[in-house]
Amino acid sequence: MRWNVLPYTIPLWITLIFSIGTAIYIFKRRAVPGAIALFIMSLIMSLWSLGYIFELLSQSLREKIFWDNVQMLGGAMGVSCFAFALQYTKQKICLKRRVTILLAIEPVIIWILAVSNLTELFRGNAYIDTSGPFPALIYDMGIASWIDFAFGYVMYILFIILLIRFFIRSHDLYRKQASFMMIGLTITAGGYILSFLDLIPKYMRDVSPFTFTILNLSLFFSIYRYKFLNTVPIARETLFEKINDGLIVLDANKVIVDINLLAQTIINTTTNEVIGQLFHGIFPNSQEILKNMDNSMQTNLEISLKKIDQEYIYEVESLPLVNKRNTNIGWLIVLHDISERKKMEKALQISEEKYRNVCEFANDGIVIIQDGYIKYMNTKLLEMINHTYEEVINHYFDIFVIQEFRTLVRETYRRRIMGEEVNNRYEITLLCKNGDKLDVEVNAAVMNYNGRLATLGYIRDITERKRAEKALRELAVKDPLTQIFNRRHFFILAQKEFELSIHHKYSMCAIMIDIDHFKQVNDNYGHAIGDQVLCNIANNIIDSIRDTDVLGRYGGEEFAVFLPKTDICKAQLIAERIRKNIMQSSVSTDRGQIFVTASLGVAQILNFDEDDIDKLFDRADKALYTAKQKGRNKVIIYN
């Protein structure tokens, strides 16, 4: 061992310790999207640093080449960066096993070439240079080395593109997380470029491991300052910021990881002041909330907050957040302002007349039910159901509820009056005078009315919320442009039909459809017209298939159809019908009619014991490729 080399290994030992510590921390949070890829990246940094340390300490050429081969495992660094970006930014491309294998092929082949070095494909003219402060391994880069360099930087560029796109459309918290990831990896990539372009002294052949310390520090800062790996990006702008309740997200350690604008207003703070802070150090009356939390159930309680000499009362709901393994990973705190409702209840206790004056100006509907009959209904609720006061007073209350919910409403009312434990808040649908249906949330309580028990109900219109929830559900299953199933949901439905057909030994077929020369439509007429063409084609396909068939947008200008209980002859007829309908249809523009054609590939199940749905659609795709080779605007059966 050459002792004069030891000072140069100190930064590498620091990097090694940092990398191992980071890997252990990340592995404990491996359930978070992107954590596994980041864990692999940390292991690669550890191996790379360890290999470089022992390369510097080795004296013979053979030993140095051995430890240089260990460092070549770092070729998977770019792949792990790209894989992390795919998972963290929740791209539609998911890391299935076959995608992972494809990404790993290049690093594995390069490592094999580095170890075997056949015909010096990886390194040539290796020797020990003694002109520097310590003996260093020097060699010429082979063609395999340059391929590995190019592949790694393609992966890194893709990583940067994904994170920049994510940065533009994300919340401030996630922007900061992404920024530190990009900064750390950019410095590492810069060191890698300097090494490959021989812009550093020969004896410092590879400075990448020295930059890993900076990368690890950026990771640590992102983890501890911005709670990276404790939170994941969500579609928060639609619901989280615009909901009428204050929302606070806690991790498993009761640390605040997100907070919406209304909650910031309630507790008079900002995001930068509370993110990363313990909940009990920020929120008033937090001890009362925390002691009621339980990992297996949600809790509700009321708290009072004073702001500018005015008291506000909030209903606090604590909802446990669990992962796929049903393990508690945090809490969602919902703050609902019930100050107005409390004022109404207090007014009721003073006098019915004062109560009516208050509730007539309320934003929610209010109803009093006694012995099953409506005794009072405020103006807001009358407007909601489009009735007059005379039309509802002393009428049985459930005639204004749709049939589906009448049994629930009657039973809940009966049990509440009997003093039994019932859910005070539930959702029903009211029947309006003009026949329209109105989704509402009911919050009911028992009261004393004219010396006898009655039910007081607060009715809130949740039509917009229901519409938003429906839109979110449709976004999860439908292609937003053509309004047919997206690829993910298409394969979920097709897989169910496939398994049913396999069980009953039914014939089944698949059709792959690709629009011929669709790029020319976009180039000549613009993407807006191209979108109209895609929608027109989707409608033509819908008109050409049966109700039992499953249609989805496969991607771009490709569509897929699964045909259950269908033999190849009938499938060919359906495919021809689709082709003709597309060919004969057109889209009107100010530059005239646009006609397009389509190529179709058809395949059928061949072996009930060995085939799966992927094989079925692979065959249809091959037939589609043949149709395009044979001139397009054709239907080809897989043979």
Look at residue 467 in the predicted model and tell me its pLDDT: 79
Catalytic residue positions, numbered: 557
Q: Are residues 130 and 33 in the same domain?
A: yes
DSSP string over 311-369: EEEEEEEEEEEE-TT--EEEEEEEEEE-HHHHHHHHHHHH-HHHHHHHHTT-SSEEEEE
Average pLDDT over residues 219-242: 58
Residue 531 has pLDDT above 80, yes or no: yes
Per-residue CA distances from 519 to 236, 512, 557, 623, 629 (Å): 34, 18, 9, 21, 17
Three-state secondary structure call for residue 43: helix
Q: Are residues 22 and 123 in the same domain?
A: yes
Q: Which of 170, 192, 226 is the last residue of a domain?
A: 226
Please identify which residue in the block is written with the tokens 């003219």: 125
Q: Are residues 631 and 486 in the same domain?
A: yes
Looking at per-residue pLDDT, the higher value among 560 and 185 belongs to 560
pLDDT grade for 573, boundaries at 50, 70 and 90:
very high
Q: Are residues 183 and 200 in the same domain?
A: yes
Q: How many CB atoms lie within 10 A of CB 230?
A: 20
Q: Are residues 547 and 456 in the same domain?
A: no
- Of 158-162, 246-250, 286-290, the poorest mean pLDDT is in 286-290
Residue 162 has pLDDT above 60, yes or no: yes
In a domain, 521, yes or no: yes
Q: Are residues 313 and 354 in the same domain?
A: no
Look at residue 620 in the predicted model and tell me its pLDDT: 95
Looking at per-residue pLDDT, the higher value among 113 and 496 belongs to 496
Q: Provide the residue range defining the domain that includes 315.
A: 236-337
Computed from CA positions of residues 484, 486, 487, 490, in that sequence, does the dihedral angle turn out positive or negative?
Answer: negative
Average pLDDT over residues 198-220: 67
> Residue 526 maps to which CATH number?
3.30.70.270
In a domain, 484, yes or no: yes
CB 566 within 8 A of CB 509: yes
Q: Which of 308, 337, 366 is the last residue of a domain?
A: 337
Q: Which of 178, 205, 226 is the last residue of a domain?
A: 226
Average pLDDT over residues 608-637: 94
In a domain, 31, yes or no: yes
pLDDT digits (tens, 9 = 90+) for 26-52: 787 776 667 777 788 788 878 877 887
In a domain, 470, yes or no: no
CB 384 within 8 A of CB 461: yes
Average pLDDT over residues 517-531: 91
Q: Among residues 458, 460, 244, which one has the least CA distance to residue 359?
A: 458
Q: Are residues 98 and 220 in the same domain?
A: yes
Q: Are residues 206 and 240 in the same domain?
A: no
Number of domains in the chain: 4
pLDDT grade for 567, boundaries at 50, 70 and 90:
very high
In a domain, 204, yes or no: yes
Residue 501 has pLDDT above 80, yes or no: yes
Looking at per-residue pLDDT, the higher value among 124 and 635 belongs to 635
In a domain, 472, yes or no: no
> Residue 379 maps to which CATH number?
3.30.450.20
Q: Among residues 292, 267, 266, 291, which one has the least CA distance to residue 277?
A: 267
CB 537 within 8 A of CB 582: yes
Of 275-284, 423-432, 610-619, the range with the highest mean pLDDT is 610-619
Q: Are residues 195 and 80 in the same domain?
A: yes
Of 294-303, 377-386, 549-558, the range with the highest mean pLDDT is 549-558
In a domain, 471, yes or no: no
pLDDT digits (tens, 9 = 90+) for 256-273: 877 887 888 887 787 767
Strand partners, 311: 306
Tokens of 516: 């011929």
Q: Are residues 402 and 282 in the same domain?
A: no
pLDDT grade for 579, boundaries at 50, 70 and 90:
very high
In a domain, 473, yes or no: no
CB 369 within 8 A of CB 397: yes
Across the chain, mean pLDDT equals 80
> Residue 23 maps to which CATH number?
1.20.1070.10
Residue 452 has pLDDT above 90, yes or no: no
Residue 478 has pLDDT above 80, yes or no: yes
Q: Are residues 622 and 575 in the same domain?
A: yes
pTM of this structure:
0.38
Q: Are residues 398 and 487 in the same domain?
A: no
Query: What value does the CA radius of gyration of the chain take, rounded to a whole number of Å?
Result: 33
